[in-house]
Structure 1
């Protein structure tokens, strides 16, 4: 009797698997990932300016109207912080934004997110991690990663390898390079190109990719708002490859 029961269960299992529908991905205009540098070159005050900049961006009525103005009328957004090649932390999970209320809720989550500082700067690690985050409940007409930072890659595999792999998945990589005018004990090694040139030539890529350069962390708030408004546009207008704000 027991053998017959087990055999019957085994035969029924494939039928159950065949009749269980796959969970549909929720359509959105854009899947947008915000990747925020928290390496040691970003001091606590500068980190606070970054988080405040993102928070205020999602409270801005112009940005919210842009979110609601697309063909679907919504975007999906996630935020994570990054540093060393193996250190990436999702601080705000994937969230559907389709109203003033949901955008303000996302801003509240950014305001409440933990602030931590680590050591190295692994842009390649951030790109690799971001590429694995897509397809988690949402399906956008575009997949965009917004990488902000104030230093070059010094941990993990070469940026070129991570960039190539992401572009092969149809991901657009945009950059927000912060030119920190304050003296830092963790200065960029001699012989490397200026940070804005580095981000332009080595980091960004994909259809319509662009770079925003913030002349210091005090310009971050305006820079990030302008950048996200451009990223979520239903039909991104042709713009400068590099836009400078200071």
Structure 2
């Protein structure tokens, strides 16, 4: 059973208006640290987020929003109950606040865990949104991963509950091993994320197919999420005529 509440307006209950609570986006960065992510990939992943969060493109997208502020938190996840907050909820509105948030990510020790529970990661992300102090015009979970859900429950059930709470889920399927890993190549992880993980208004996924492309993919993804440019249609549409992925194959 999930602990986050169904929304009533924003899904939060405040006794008084506070301008300090207003942000353009409440953004959860949920980052996979399962065993299949080796140390080099984890370092590339960390560096990609640090680079993107402090980039001129992301800062410009933040400044151009209605409030010029976003609220963001960064946590790493693996199996059920394996959630590690690396950077608590913070406001990013300029170079200094972006650099301070990115520094907490860069300086944290690396971890590695056994399983891959997208189900639990989405539940944790929704809890973080429901319990924070901010009031965003949009609420977004940005989840990365290099494999399917294999613990915790049926991933589509959790996806649907999160969407019904007014939260959009975007995906960053990590396919850097797809040319050397038979199971990952067979799975078509980008299709899995499209069919089974992402959802909500303007939901999209950007696959990462090489370490060299990681930073660019994250930067593009954050700009789109912050600027809200994908409200009309997803960035990646399922291929016409392809067979839908069996979402519960690994649950």
TM range (shorter): 0.7 to 0.9
Matched, 1:74 2:69: yes
* CA pair 200-236 structure 1, distance change in 2 beyond 3 A: closer
The structural deviation recorded for 1:222 is 0.8
SS of aligned partner of 1:214: coil
Partner residue, 2:198: 204
Partner residue, 2:147: 151
The structural deviation recorded for 1:236 is 4.2
Partner residue, 2:219: 225
Counting only pairs closer than 5 Å after superposition, residues 141-180 of structure 1 correspond to structure 2 as 141-180=137-176
Aligned length: 220
Partner residue, 1:18: none
Contact 1:29 1:234 in 2 (8 A): no
CA distance in 2: counterparts of 1:189 and 1:220, whole angstroms? 18
Matched, 1:56 2:51: yes
Query: Which one has the bigger strand percentage?
Result: 1
Partner residue, 2:135: 139
* CA pair 23-119 structure 1, distance change in 2 beyond 3 A: farther
SS of aligned partner of 2:216: helix
The structural deviation recorded for 1:234 is 4.8
* CA pair 237-128 structure 1, distance change in 2 beyond 3 A: closer
CA distance in 1: counterparts of 2:209 and 2:72, whole angstroms? 26
Task: Compare CA radii of gyration and give the structure with the larger one.
Answer: 1
Which aligned runs of 4 or more in structure 1 are off by greater than 6 angstroms?
A: none
Q: What root-mean-square deviation, in Å, do the aligned CA atoms of Structure 1 and Structure 2 show? A: 2.1
The structural deviation recorded for 1:218 is 2.9
Counting only pairs closer than 5 Å after superposition, residues 1-150 of structure 1 correspond to structure 2 as 22=15, 24=17, 26-134=21-129, 135-150=131-146
* CA pair 23-89 structure 1, distance change in 2 beyond 3 A: farther
The structural deviation recorded for 1:238 is 4.5
The structural deviation recorded for 1:217 is 3.0
CA distance in 2: counterparts of 1:147 and 1:234, whole angstroms? 17
Return 5+ residue gaps in structure 2 as ranges.
1-13, 238-251
CA distance in 2: counterparts of 1:216 and 1:189, whole angstroms? 14
- TM-score if structure 2 supplies the norm length? 0.82
- TM-score if structure 1 supplies the norm length? 0.84
Partner residue, 2:210: 216
The structural deviation recorded for 1:24 is 4.9
| CA deviation string 1:205-241 (max 9, x = no partner) | 0000000011133321110010000000055465653
| CA deviation string 1:111-151 (max 9, x = no partner) | 11221000011111100000000141111011000001110
Return 5+ residue gaps in structure 1 as ranges.
1-20
